[in-house]
Amino acid sequence: MSLDHRLSPEHEELRRTVEAFAHDVVAPRIAEHYERHTFPYEIVREMGKMGLFGLPFPEEYGGMGGDYLALCLALEELARVDSSVAITLEAAVSLGAMPIHRFGTEEQKREWLPRLCAGEALGAFGLTEPGFGSDAGGTRTTAVREGDEWVINGTKAFITNSGTDLTGLITVTAVTGRRPDGRPEISSIIVPTPTPGLTVAPGYSKVGWNASDTHELSFADVRVPAANLLGVEGRGYAQFLRILDEGRIAISALATGLAQGCVDESLAYARTREAFGRPIGANQAIQFKLADMEARAHTARVAWRDAASRLLAGEPFKKQAAIAKLHSSDMAVVNAREATQIHGGYGFMNEYPVARMWRDAKILEIGEGTSEVQRMLIARELGLS
């Protein structure tokens, strides 16, 4: 495989386009949504018109015919300005639409992907449950086959994009049987929204990602057609392990964007903020902080692009994805802390983007696999039990 992580002209053009969109469209509007905890529908619709939700999908299903690298480039550029918008795109594509693309029947793809690719509908990923975060194999939600229907009962927690006016489907993992040794067989089932029996709880009061949509979901005798089974019955857990491996590259790109955004904001501030008669950027202490921050963002970018290049080449990438997710989320948290310190008292004020970045950074060490889970995966790939 090539070790050249420089972008092709097409990928670089996409990156620049999303960079301009983030600065010209997202940046002027997102602070108000963040403070009010409202979903930025107008921004999301514009992202749909740009084709961002269809980036990695084939044109025959309404996609842009791009690849996973294209998606990750868009996520990094959006997160340089705001993570709520970036996670909305990430969850809708890598968790919402990608399972249908990877495992769906031709009928399911043609039914769902065109709307998902256009951003006219958002998909959600119903995996996590109260009390079973990292232990997804402990799923308690059940789906029982009754004739030509599945009857679903259970609860899901922390589900992104699950309660918007654009939400079109939630792919739910549920226990559909038992193996001979007593372990659960977990399957994936598409639940359109709204569906009778599906209750969307009020949005969470979150520390960060305040302009993204996150809810708890309850399923009380929710009935969907048997044809809504996604992939092979009993293979839902294995399917979503694959989806999460890919998603970790996307989250790593998002974390890299946040880390780079901290550099951008701090560099601009250091050049204009004066103390003791000169810009604070003239002080070596600030220069060294910024140099370290830039180095962190750079190494995080190299890590996710390496994992993405292996994915695109059809090579094993599980370890590299875990490394990228672990490293980039750590770098994002450290850079957010340092950016807040460089801004001093203003860094504690919500009117400055670094305050938003500081609040948004921590979840990156938790969502889509905690840092501890990433270390477990890396150790396992090294051959350790």
Predicted confidence (pLDDT) per residue in 40-51, tens digit = 999 999 999 999
Answer yes or no: is pLDDT of 332 > 70. Answer: yes
C-alpha to C-alpha distance for 223 and 151, rounded to whole angstroms: 5
Percentage of the residues of the chain whose pLDDT score is greater than 90? 93
Model pLDDT, residue 182:
83
Q: Do 9-122 and 124-233 have matching folds?
A: no
Per-domain residue ranges of the chain:
9-122, 124-233, 238-381
Owner of token pair 């996590």: 128
Answer yes or no: is pLDDT of 93 > 90. Answer: yes
Q: Which fold has domain 238-381?
A: Butyryl-CoA Dehydrogenase, subunit A; domain 3 (1.20.140)
Residue 287: pLDDT band (50, 70, 90) is very high
C-alpha to C-alpha distance for 12 and 1, rounded to whole angstroms: 20
The yes-or-no answer on residue 368 being catalytic is yes
Model pLDDT, residue 121:
98
Q: Tens of pLDDT along 110-128?
A: 999 999 999 999 999 999 9
Model pLDDT, residue 167:
98
Model pLDDT, residue 4:
65
Q: Tens of pLDDT along 341-380?
A: 999 999 999 999 999 999 999 999 999 999 999 999 999 9
Residue 138: pLDDT band (50, 70, 90) is confident
Answer yes or no: is pLDDT of 264 > 70. Answer: yes
Residue 71 Cα distances to 32, 65, 179, 193, angstroms: 26, 11, 37, 25
Report whether 246 contacts 199 (CB < 8 A): no
Answer yes or no: is pLDDT of 55 > 60. Answer: yes
Residue 182 Cα distances to 175, 235, 314, angstroms: 12, 16, 34
Answer yes or no: is pLDDT of 2 > 60. Answer: no
Model pLDDT, residue 136:
65
Residue 132: pLDDT band (50, 70, 90) is confident
Answer yes or no: is pLDDT of 320 > 50. Answer: yes
Q: Which fold has domain 124-233?
A: Butyryl-CoA Dehydrogenase, subunit A; domain 2 (2.40.110)
Q: Tens of pLDDT along 200-219?
A: 999 999 999 999 999 999 99
Report whether 154 contacts 140 (CB < 8 A): yes
Which of the following is catalytic: 77, 90, 338, 368? 368
Q: Is 268 helix (H, G, I), strand (E, B) or coil?
A: helix
C-alpha to C-alpha distance for 66 and 70, rounded to whole angstroms: 6
Owner of token pair 């692009």: 305
Percentage of the residues of the chain whose pLDDT score is greater than 70? 97
Report whether 257 contacts 86 (CB < 8 A): yes
Averaged pLDDT for residues 278-288:
96
> Helix crossing, 284-312 with 68-79: angle to 10°?
160
Model pLDDT, residue 133:
67
Answer yes or no: is pLDDT of 3 > 70. Answer: no
Averaged pLDDT for residues 1-9:
72
Averaged pLDDT for residues 273-282:
94
- Count of C-beta atoms within a 10 Å radius of residue 344: 13
Model pLDDT, residue 6:
83
CATH code of domain 9-122: 1.10.540.10
Torsion of CA 338, 340, 345, 346, to 10 degrees: 140
Model pLDDT, residue 113:
98
C-alpha to C-alpha distance for 105 and 120, rounded to whole angstroms: 21
Averaged pLDDT for residues 92-120:
97
Answer yes or no: is pLDDT of 7 > 80. Answer: yes
Answer yes or no: is pLDDT of 104 > 50. Answer: yes
Residue 87 Cα distances to 78, 141, 195, 273, angstroms: 9, 25, 25, 31
pTM of the predicted protein model: 0.95
Model pLDDT, residue 131:
80
Averaged pLDDT for residues 59-75:
97
Model pLDDT, residue 237:
87
Model pLDDT, residue 134:
64
Mean per-residue pLDDT of the chain = 95
Answer yes or no: is pLDDT of 291 > 50. Answer: yes
Model pLDDT, residue 1:
45
